[in-house]
């Protein structure tokens, strides 16, 4: 069986030796040891050594490339079947024999000549490589590139067609110059692959594209030169690395939806290489290629302390919803450590608003172990809801025999001062009178008091109660007030009261309300008093303000500047705010005794004043029925709260709860928003308690739960928004 050898011939110029520019010098290129043409037979016969050779000795000249043209003239060569199926290991040749002698006396060229020759050789080699790369790129077109999916050498072509095409492709080039025409064609500078004969089944595979070809093509017994597809080494390693990088990229990146071209676009363009006609509308992402996201329950991963800290940043409603996730989440959401932070974040005063040395803020509960802060939060929320809806109970304390001018209270006690020259201490839970500080044989207590019924309007109490108690026994006091008690203020240690007898008395709360000393110096009644950690400050109808030593009772300084009675004072640190009947409120520096700012009302005098805890705002009310909000930085009026119909007699600023409580001669107590609004229309007025007493409201104080009001009819009214709430005692400090 004979097989035509021309089926091994390539149909593309990629497997033919390229046309090369000749060297600058018309010299034969030296044969290197790495070249496939440097065979054992070319060695001199005098120098022999044993060597295994995988290549049969060629029978053609190294630079003779014209055998391709001669093939067209002589016709194809047939190889016998026996020659084709020869055992490849039988062709191993053992070349042995003496080696050629080495000329020991050969003349060595000079170093200058070597340098020039080596330099020219490197330049020529670089030029050949560049010309080969550029020529191949310029000549290769899209039509000449073989498709890898189809065979390059169909078996149906005859020898003449293959050789003629190969010859034409090899000779095809751009116009050459004269020097390029004269130069001979050189073999490529890269090694040419050598191959063996192969069986017919394997010869048919040669027609298919392969980047790892290991079988040669023969023509007339001569091995045809082949140029590999990948001239540079390491192609396999690069391909493996590229595949790994691509796999890693696809593993990390979100996969794109699979491309599904529409039939109409495909028929219209027939273009699968470019993006023309590709429509991505309506494509669905492959669910199987969605990147896997690792999800863990934080309750199973995080430490309990850390998870409690995370939950503490949620609000109460979010905690309730989170408790429905799982049992572990419910346990963390019900943790007292979490609810303690939630409770204090909403109800505890900010650090900037705290007063140094002030008692614990009311409504935060007792600071004891095992406190149920979740229950505390629920009770406070219910109390706040009643404030918003105006739902409160009215408790009337009966005991004074004349008008009640002043009042102050906390969680445990209520202290009142009256025109009957007495000071009474009440239990804030049972509303019973515990103690009475009065002069002996007090004539004003002999009066019979007739109190008319009250007729509330607007907000009506859902519960009303008159609290009466037995008259406490009066003990003998070393000193007392001989006239009306007009003002009072206390802290954890002392109680200071001012009277129409021109004096103020300091009482020791810790020592069962024993009087400590009397402050004398005013030439008229003491209208108001305030205290701090080291000072006692009093104001009087004599238009002066006096500063006393808290511990010794000695006079430190007298502030003069008002032209009328100083009706109210309030201290914050080194600053003092005062309100007078001369239509002005003033801001003083206590260290220097200088007035640093004045605030004017529109008309008439001011009767009350409140100083914000941050020292930036002053509230004042008076005879023009308006409550003024002054800015202490520039002296301007920020707001004017309107709604009262008579003189505004008292003010109280509840900074912790954002409320202002005002009492007026119009028999009403009003609750205002401390930050915004000016009237009931714009939301500034929250609650209007009208008719809860039968006479003037002379004083009003409040906390988170109650409002204590002093009235001219001799009654003390407690407006309780937490009355009847289960667990309300838990929030008491």
Provide the CB-side half-sphere exposure for 148 (13 A, CA): 3
CB atoms within 10 A of CB 352: 7
What is the reported pLDDT for 569? 96
281, pLDDT greater than 60 = no
Q: Which CATH class is domain 390-731?
A: mainly beta
DSSP state of 47: B
What is the reported pLDDT for 359? 52
- Region 114-141 average pLDDT: 62
Q: Which residue has the higher pLDDT, 419 or 273?
A: 419
What is the reported pLDDT for 542? 93
Q: Which residue has the higher pLDDT, 367 or 96?
A: 367
- Region 392-416 average pLDDT: 94
Q: Residues for the chain: how many in total?
A: 733
Report the alpha-carbon distance of residue 45 to residue 34 in Å, rounded.
Answer: 20
What is the reported pLDDT for 448? 76
Angle between helices 336-347 and 373-389 (to 10 degrees): 30
Can you give the three-state secondary structure of 399-457, one letter per residue? CCCCCEEEEEECCCEEEEEECCCCEEEEECCCCCEEEEECCCCCHHHHCCCCCCCCCCE
Q: Which residue has the higher pLDDT, 37 or 477?
A: 477
- Region 654-671 average pLDDT: 93
With CA atoms as reference, report the closest residue to 359 among 498, 493, 489: 493
153, pLDDT greater than 60 = no
- Region 706-718 average pLDDT: 94
What is the reported pLDDT for 710? 95
What is the reported pLDDT for 226? 54
Report the alpha-carbon distance of residue 24 to residue 182 in Å, rounded.
Answer: 12
Q: Which residue has the higher pLDDT, 192 or 222?
A: 222
Give residue limits of the domains in the chain. Answer: 2-97+121-223, 299-387, 390-731
Mean pLDDT for all residues in the chain: 75
For 509-541, the pLDDT digits (tens) are: 999 999 999 999 999 999 999 999 999 999 999
DSSP state of 42: G
Angle between helices 336-347 and 304-311 (to 10 degrees): 30
CB atoms within 10 A of CB 532: 19
> 667 in the Ramachandran plot: left (φ > 0), alpha (ψ -120 to 50) or beta?
left
308, pLDDT greater than 80 = yes
Structure tokens belonging to residue 294: 């690792």
Asked if 694 and 687 count as a contact pair (C-beta separation under 8 A), the reply is: no
CATH code for residues 299-387: 1.20.1280
Q: Which of 158-167, 391-400, 455-464 has the highest mean pLDDT?
A: 391-400
Q: Over the range 359-376, which residues count as b (16 or more CB within 10 Å of their CB) and which as e?
A: eebbbbbeeeeebebbbb
For 104-115, the pLDDT digits (tens) are: 555 555 556 666
Residues near 534 by beta carbon (within 8 Å), at least 6 away in sequence: 549, 550, 551
Lowest mean pLDDT among 78-92, 563-577, 594-608: 78-92
With CA atoms as reference, report the closest residue to 597 among 632, 569, 559: 632
177, pLDDT greater than 80 = no
Asked if 138 and 85 count as a contact pair (C-beta separation under 8 A), the reply is: no
428, pLDDT greater than 90 = yes
Q: Which residue has the higher pLDDT, 577 or 281?
A: 577
What is the reported pLDDT for 445? 84
Q: Which residue has the higher pLDDT, 392 or 218?
A: 392
Report the alpha-carbon distance of residue 733 to residue 724 in Å, rounded.
Answer: 18
What is the reported pLDDT for 46? 41
* Percent of the chain at pLDDT exceeding 90: 45
Lowest mean pLDDT among 185-189, 430-434, 529-533, 707-711: 185-189
How much is the CA Rg of the chain, to the nearest whole Å? Answer: 55
Provide the CB-side half-sphere exposure for 189 (13 A, CA): 17
What is the reported pLDDT for 238? 79
Confidence of residue 667 (pLDDT cuts 50, 70, 90): very high
Q: Which residue has the higher pLDDT, 163 or 118?
A: 118
Lowest mean pLDDT among 75-79, 304-308, 370-374, 643-647: 75-79
Q: Is 299-387's fold the same as 390-731's?
A: no
720, pLDDT greater than 70 = yes
593, pLDDT greater than 80 = yes
570, pLDDT greater than 60 = yes
What is the reported pLDDT for 203? 42
Angle between helices 159-171 and 67-74 (to 10 degrees): 150
What is the reported pLDDT for 550? 95
- Region 25-49 average pLDDT: 45
Q: Over the range 226-242, which residues count as b (16 or more CB within 10 Å of their CB) and which as e?
A: bbbeeeeeeeeeeeeee
For 429-469, the pLDDT digits (tens) are: 999 999 999 998 888 888 777 788 888 887 899 999 998 88
Lowest mean pLDDT among 57-66, 238-247, 513-522, 719-728: 57-66
- Region 678-692 average pLDDT: 89
For 65-78, the pLDDT digits (tens) are: 454 455 445 554 44
The per-residue DSSP string of 626-677 comes to: EEEEEETTT--EEEEEE--SS-EEEEEEETTTTEEEEEETTSEEEEEESSS-
The per-residue DSSP string of 198-260 comes to: --HHHHHHHTS--SS-----EETTEEPPB--S--SS-HHHHHHHHHHHHHHHHHHSPPPPPP-
Provide the CB-side half-sphere exposure for 96 (13 A, CA): 3
Structure tokens belonging to residue 583: 């239509």
* Percent of the chain at pLDDT exceeding 70: 62
- Region 341-362 average pLDDT: 69
Lowest mean pLDDT among 157-171, 480-494, 581-595, 691-705: 157-171
230, pLDDT greater than 90 = no
């Amino acid at each position: 069986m004979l097989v035509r050898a021309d089926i091994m011939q390539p149909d593309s110029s990629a497997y033919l030796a390229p046309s090369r520019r000749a060297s600058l010098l018309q010299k034969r290129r030296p044969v290197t040891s790495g070249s496939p043409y440097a065979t054992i037979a070319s060695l001199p016969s005098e120098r022999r050594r044993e060597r295994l050779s995988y290549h049969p000795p060629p029978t053609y000249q190294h630079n003779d490339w014209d055998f391709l043209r001669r093939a067209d003239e002589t016709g194809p060569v047939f190889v016998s079947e026996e020659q084709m199926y020869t055992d490849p290991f039988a062709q191993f040749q053992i070349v042995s024999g003496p080696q050629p002698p080495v000329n020991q006396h050969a003349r060595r060229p000079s170093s200058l000549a070597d340098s020039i020759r080596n330099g020219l050789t490197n330049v020529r080699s670089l030029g050949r490589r560049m010309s080969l790369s550029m020529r191949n790129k310029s000549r290769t077109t899209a039509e000449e590139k073989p498709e890898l999916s189809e065979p390059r050498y169909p078996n149906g072509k005859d020898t003449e067609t293959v050789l003629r095409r190969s010859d034409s492709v090899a000779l095809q080039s751009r116009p050459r110059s004269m020097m390029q025409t004269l130069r001979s064609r050189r073999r490529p500078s890269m090694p040419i692959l050598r191959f063996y004969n192969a069986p017919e089944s394997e010869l048919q595979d040669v027609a298919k594209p392969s980047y790892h070809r290991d079988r040669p093509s023969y023509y007339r017994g001569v091995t045809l030169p082949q140029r590999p597809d990948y001239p540079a080494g390491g192609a396999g390693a690069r391909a493996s690395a590229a595949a790994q990088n691509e796999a890693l990229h696809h593993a990390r990146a979100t996969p794109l939806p699979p491309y599904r071209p529409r039939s109409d676009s495909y028929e219209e363009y027939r273009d699968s290489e470019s993006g023309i006609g590709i429509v991505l509308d309506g494509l669905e992402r492959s669910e199987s290629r969605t990147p896997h996201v690792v999800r863990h329950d934080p309750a199973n991963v995080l430490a309990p302390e850390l998870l409690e800290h995370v939950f503490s940043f949620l609000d109460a409603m979010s905690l309730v919803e989170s408790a429905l996730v799982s049992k572990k989440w419910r346990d963390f959401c019900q943790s007292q450590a979490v609810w303690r932070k939630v409770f204090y974040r909403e109800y505890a005063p900010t650090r900037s608003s705290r007063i140094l040395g002030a008692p614990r803020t009311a409504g935060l509960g007792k600071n004891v172990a095992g406190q149920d802060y979740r229950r505390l939060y629920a009770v406070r929320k219910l109390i706040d809801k009643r404030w918003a809806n105006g739902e409160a109970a009215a408790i009337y304390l009966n005991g004074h025999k004349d008008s009640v001018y002043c009042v102050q209270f906390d969680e445990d006690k209520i202290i009142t001062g009256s025109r009957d020259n007495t000071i009474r201490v009440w239990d804030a839970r049972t509303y019973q009178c515990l103690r009475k500080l009065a002069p002996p044989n007090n004539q004003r207590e002999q009066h019979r008091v007739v109190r008319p019924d009250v007729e509330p309007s607007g907000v009506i109490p859902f519960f009303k109660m008159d609290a009466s108690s037995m008259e406490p026994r009066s003990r003998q006091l070393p000193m007392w007030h001989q006239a009306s008690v007009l003002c009072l203020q206390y802290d954890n240690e002392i109680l200071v009261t001012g009277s129409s007898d021109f004096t103020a008395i300091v009482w020791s709360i810790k020592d069962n309300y024993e009087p400590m000393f009397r402050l004398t110096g005013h030439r008229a009644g003491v209208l108001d008093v305030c205290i701090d950690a080291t000072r006692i400050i009093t104001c009087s109808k004599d238009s002066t303000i006096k500063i006393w030593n808290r511990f010794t009772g000695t006079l430190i300084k007298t502030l003069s500047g008002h032209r009328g009675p100083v009706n109210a004072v309030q201290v914050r640190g080194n600053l003092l705010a005062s309100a007078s009947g001369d239509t002005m409120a003033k801001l003083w520096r206590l260290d220097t005794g200088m007035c640093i700012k004045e605030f004017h009302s529109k008309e008439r005098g001011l009767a009350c004043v409140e100083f914000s805890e941050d020292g930036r705002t002053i509230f004042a009310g008076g005879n023009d029925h308006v409550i003024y909000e002054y800015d202490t930085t520039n002296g301007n009026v920020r707001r004017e709260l309107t709604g009262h119909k008579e003189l505004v007699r008292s003010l109280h600023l509840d900074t912790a709860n954002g409320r202002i409580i005002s009492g007026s001669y119009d028999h009403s107590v009003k609750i205002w928003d401390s930050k915004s609004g000016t009237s009931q229309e714009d939301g500034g007025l929250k609650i209007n308690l009208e008719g809860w007493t039968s006479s003037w409201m002379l004083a009003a104080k409040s906390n988170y739960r109650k409002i204590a009001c002093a009235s001219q009819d001799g009654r003390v009214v407690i407006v309780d928004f937490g009355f009847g709430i289960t667990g309300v005692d838990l929030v008491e400090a």
